[in-house]
Homo-oligomer: A and B are copies of this chain.
Amino acid sequence: MRLSRYFLPILKENPKEAEIVSHRLMLRTGMIRQQSQGIYSWLPLGKRVLDKVNAIIREEQNRAGAIELLMPTLQSAELWQESGRYEAYGKEMLRIKDRQERPMLYGPTNEEMITDIFRSYVKSYKNLPLNLYHIQLKFRDEIRPRFGTMRSREFLMKDAYSFDLTLEDAIHSYNKMFVAYLRTFARLGVRAIPMRADTGPIGGNHSHEFIILAETGESEVFSHRNFIEFDIPAEDTDFDDVAGLQAIFDKWTSLYAATSEMHDEAAFSAIAEGDRLSARGIEVGHIFYFGTKYSEPMGAKVQGPDGKEHPVHMGSYGIGPTRLVPAIIEASHDENGIIWPESVTPFDVVLISMKPGDAACDSVCDQLYRELGNAGKDVLYDDTDDRAGTKFATADLIGVPVQVIVGPRSAASGEVEIKNRKTGAREVMTVEAAMNKLIG
C-alpha cells in the first residue's frame, strides 16, 4: 500500500479525552474514531489489526473443533422471556420496538438464540459434542463506557457455545476451549493467565477469566509468578485426547491465581513471598460451564443412549477482539508509540523513501515494494513528500516491526537501512541482503 493513496489520519496532538495509553495511541494513529459515546469506527489501520486478531481467534476455534456460524445482532424479546432473562437483564440491554411495535433487543450475548437453534435441529446424543461460535457485534449500554474500545457499548465478541450429553463430556468441551484460549492469546503476543471466576449459584470449578497483566487494567489480580514461565500447548495438541487436555487444565490451574472478587488472602499468603504476583489485569476472555441453565427452561433436549430425553449440558466461551486490540497495545508500546507483535501487525514492513522523485531512491523503493509484495509481505510504502522527521515519527508511532529506510545516497550505492522497531537496532545492507533478511 502506497501511503500517498492510503487513509492514515495521524493526529499530531495527544487527544485530551484519552486516559490510558492504548486509547491515546489508537486515536493518534488513526486506528479508531469515536462516533457516539462508546461507539467507534475502526479506520483502515485499526481494521487491519482487528482482522488479524479475528483470524487467529478463528483458526484456534476451528482447530479445537468449534464450527463458525453468524447469528444476527437483533433478537426478539420472546426468546429472552423463555429463559427468564428479559426482565432480569436490566438497563444494559438495549430494548427496541420495530415498526410493528414488536419488542426486540440488540443482543448483548447469544445463549438464548443458540439454544433455540440447537433445539430446532439436534435431537440425538449421536450429534454431540457440538460447539458453535460466531464473531459478531454485541451491544451493552454501559453507564460509563471508557478507555476507547476497551470498554465500549457496541463491541465485537467471539462467543462459542458447547453442547454435551453429560457433565463429563461438557468438561472435555470446556478443556478444549481452555487450551484454545491459551494458544490464542499466546499467538496474539500476550501472556494471559487463567483465573478462577465466580460461577454464581451453579458452583464448581469451571469458570475462568483470562487476564493480561497491565498497569492500566481495571481488575486487581493475585497470582503465582510461575505462570509467566508455563509452556503453551503445541499446535499439534490432540483435542480428542481427554486425559491429555485434562492434564493441561490441571497444570494451568495448579497454582494460585484469582481476581479480587475471588481472592483468598490466606491462600495467597501461603505462596513464598518472592513468588507472589500482585498486579492489575485486563480481562480478555471468559469461559463458563453453566450446565442446564438454558437447556432446561428452553427445552433443548436430546435422546440419550438410554432412549430417554436429557437436557444438554452447555458452556459458553467469550473473547472480545475489540478489547484485545487495546490490551495488546497496553502490553506492548514505548514512548514513541505502538510495538506490534508480528502476528497482528497491520503491515509487515514500512518502506520509507527519504526522497521520492530521486531516481535511485524510487528505483530501489519500487523494486523492494514489488518484490516484498510478491513474497506475500504487506508493505506500507511511505512515498509522500513529508519531512524525514515526520516519516520516522509516523513509522515509530504505528509500530510496524520492521522499517526499511531508503536514502538517495545509499540507494545510489545499492544499500538500504533496516531498523527494528522494538530494539531500535539499525543495520545498513545491500538491497539483496535486505530482501533475504525480510523474506527469509
Interface digits, A65-101 against B, CB 8 Å rule (1 contact, 0 not)? 1011111111110000000000000011010101100
> A33 with B117: in contact, given A98-B141, A99-B91, A137-B137 (CB under 8 Å)?
yes
A99 adjacent to B143 (CB under 8 Å):
yes
By a CB distance below 8 angstroms, the chain B residues around A5 are: 65
By a CB distance below 8 angstroms, the chain B residues around A33 are: 117, 120
Within 8 A of B (CB), among A24-40: 30, 33, 35-36, 39-40
> A39 with B74: in contact, given A30-B121, A65-B5, A121-B9 (CB under 8 Å)?
yes
Interface digits, A166-203 against B, CB 8 Å rule (1 contact, 0 not)? 00000000000000000000000000000000000000
A26 to chain B, nearest CB (A): 14
By a CB distance below 8 angstroms, the chain B residues around A251 are: none
By a CB distance below 8 angstroms, the chain B residues around A153 are: 74, 98
By a CB distance below 8 angstroms, the chain B residues around A18 are: none
> A76 with B121: in contact, given A42-B70, A94-B96, A99-B91 (CB under 8 Å)?
no
B73 adjacent to A44 (CB under 8 Å):
no
> A35 with B141: in contact, given A6-B67, A47-B69, A69-B41 (CB under 8 Å)?
no
A69 to chain B, nearest CB (A): 5
A83 to chain B, nearest CB (A): 15
A72 adjacent to B40 (CB under 8 Å):
yes
Within 8 A of B (CB), among A87-144: 91-92, 94, 96, 98-99, 102, 104, 106, 113, 116-117, 120-122, 130, 132, 137, 139, 141, 143
* CA distance in complex: A104, B98 (Å): 14
Q: Which of B39, B50, B71, B143 contacts A41 (CB 8 A)?
A: B71
Other A-B pairs, 19, CB within 8 Å; known A5-B65, A39-B74, A44-B67: A7-B121, A7-B130, A35-B71, A35-B75, A36-B74, A36-B75, A36-B102, A41-B71, A41-B72, A43-B117, A44-B68, A44-B69, A47-B70, A50-B70, A73-B154, A74-B154, A92-B99, A94-B99, A137-B137
CB within 8 Å of B: which residues of A? Answer: 5-7, 9, 30, 33, 35-36, 39-44, 46-47, 50, 65, 67-76, 91-92, 94, 96, 98-99, 102, 104, 106, 113, 116-117, 120-122, 130, 132, 137, 139, 141, 143, 153-154
Cβ contacts A to B, 23 pairs, < 8 Å: A5-B65, A7-B121, A7-B130, A7-B132, A9-B120, A33-B117, A33-B120, A35-B72, A35-B75, A36-B74, A36-B76, A41-B72, A43-B69, A43-B117, A44-B69, A46-B69, A47-B70, A72-B154, A73-B73, A94-B96, A96-B106, A99-B141, A99-B143
